[in-house]
Amino acid sequence: MQLNEAHLQNFCRTALAEDVGSGDATTLAVVPEGLETEAHFVARKECVCAGLPVVRALFGELDRKLVFMEYVKEGELCPPGTRMATVIGNARAILTGERTALNILQRLSGIATLTRQYVLALDDPHTKILDTRKTTPGMRMLEKYAVVTGGGQNHRIGLYDRIMIKDNHREMAKYAGPDSIARAVRACRAKYPRLEIEVEADSMDDVAAAADAGVEYILLDNMSDAEMVEAIKLVRGRARLEASGNITLERLPRLRGMGLDYISVGALTHSAPAVDIGLDIMN
C-alpha cells in the first residue's frame, strides 16, 4: 500500500495545527533562535519499523531545511537500541515536532509489530491476515499502511469499495419480506454491479444462503473452529471465506491449514500498543 503525498501533507498539517496552535510557547521562550542540533530516533524495545515517511513529511512541514536520514527500512525488525532515523537542523523546529513525530512513529510501528506477530503465529501461506475498518478517525490510511508494512493485507478501505452486508443490513432487509440475504444481494448487484459482495454469516443457514446467492466473500462471524470447518465443507469453494471475531494469537495455530482464505483482526488497529521509541537530542 502506497502513501498518497497529498493525503500525507494534509495529515501532517492537521496534526501539527492540533499540537502547535498559535506557537510552541516553551520552545520559543527557552531555545535560542537559530540554534541547530541533531536528534536520533531510537527503538527502546524490539519493533517492526513503520512510519518514517510520515515523520519525514512532518518535519518537512516545520522546516524544509531540516535533514532527515533513515537508517532502517519500513518493515524491518529493529532490536532495542536501533537508531531508526536522525533529524538535523533548527532546534526549535525539531523540538516542536518531537511529540507529534513520536506519536506517529510509535503508533504505526506498534501496529506493524502486532501484525507481524499475528502473521507469524498463523504461519499459513494460504490464509491471509486482514485488517478491518476499526481504525482511528483521520488515520485510517496510515494505520492500514502499517498493517501492510507488518506483513498483513488490507480489507476494504471504506464503505465505498466493497459491498458488505452485515447483520443490521439483513435485519433491515427483512422488512421487505423473507430471504433477506438473497434480496439484499440482488439489490446490491443491481445498484453497484462492479463491486464485489461480502455477506456476514452468523449461522450455517446464513452461509448457505450467501453461497447460493453467488457472493464473492462470506464472513464467518464469531464461529467456533468446528463451525468454520462445517462452513468450509458447505461452501465447497463457491466463495472465499473470512473468519472474524474472537481471533487471538493463541487461537491462530488451530486455524492453520483449515482452509480459510482470510482472517480479519480488528485488534491490529484498535488495540495495538504503541512501541517505545525515543528521540535523543545530541549536544
Q: Which pLDDT score is estimated for 282?
A: 85
Q: Find the CATH number of the domain harbouring 235.
A: 3.20.20.70
- Residues 95, 149 within the same domain: no
- Residues 112, 136 within the same domain: no
- Residues 115, 134 within the same domain: no
Query: Measured between alpha carbons, how far is 58 from 86 in angstroms, rounded to an integer?
Result: 14
The pair phi, psi for residue 196, each rounded to 5°, is -75, 155
- Residues 258, 155 within the same domain: yes
* Catalytic residue list contains 74: no
Strand partners, 47: 78
Catalytic residue among 45, 134, 140, 183, which? 134
* Catalytic residue list contains 131: no
- Residues 128, 108 within the same domain: no
Catalytic residue among 13, 65, 99, 256, which? 99
Catalytic residue among 61, 98, 143, 200, which? 200
- Residues 128, 245 within the same domain: yes
Task: For residue 174, name the pLDDT band (cuts at 50, 70, 90).
Answer: confident
- Residues 41, 154 within the same domain: no
Q: Find the CATH number of the domain harbouring 88.
A: 3.90.1170.20
- Residues 131, 263 within the same domain: yes
- Residues 52, 137 within the same domain: no
173 has a pLDDT exceeding 80: no
The residue-averaged pLDDT of 169-176 equals 78
Q: Which pLDDT score is estimated for 172?
A: 81
The pair phi, psi for residue 91, each rounded to 5°, is -65, -35
222: Cα separation from own chain's centroid: 21
* Catalytic residue list contains 221: yes
- Residues 27, 110 within the same domain: yes
Tens of pLDDT along 199-255? 999 999 999 999 999 999 999 999 999 999 999 999 999 999 999 999 999 999 999
109 has a pLDDT exceeding 80: yes
* Catalytic residue list contains 166: yes
Handedness of CA 65, 89, 84, 7 (dihedral sign): negative
Indicate the number of domains in the chain.
2
* CB-CB contact of 145 with 1 (8 Å): yes
Q: Which pLDDT score is estimated for 150?
A: 98
* Catalytic residue list contains 250: no
Catalytic residue among 13, 44, 65, 166, which? 166
* CB-CB contact of 199 with 213 (8 Å): yes
Residue ranges of the annotated binding site for substrate are 99, 132-134, 156, 166, 200, 221, 244-246, 265-267
Catalytic residue among 24, 131, 221, 242, which? 221
Host domain of residue 187: 124-270
Q: Which pLDDT score is estimated for 188?
A: 95
Query: Is the entire prediction scored with pTM above 0.85?
Result: yes
6 has a pLDDT exceeding 90: yes
- Residues 143, 253 within the same domain: yes
Strand partners, 198: 164, 217
Q: Which pLDDT score is estimated for 185?
A: 95
Task: For residue 266, name the pLDDT band (cuts at 50, 70, 90).
Answer: very high
Tell me the one-letter amino acid at 68.
F
- Residues 106, 210 within the same domain: no
Task: Match 542540533 to its residue by C-alpha cell.
Answer: 37
Residue ranges of the annotated binding site are 99, 132-134, 156, 166, 200, 221, 244-246, 265-267
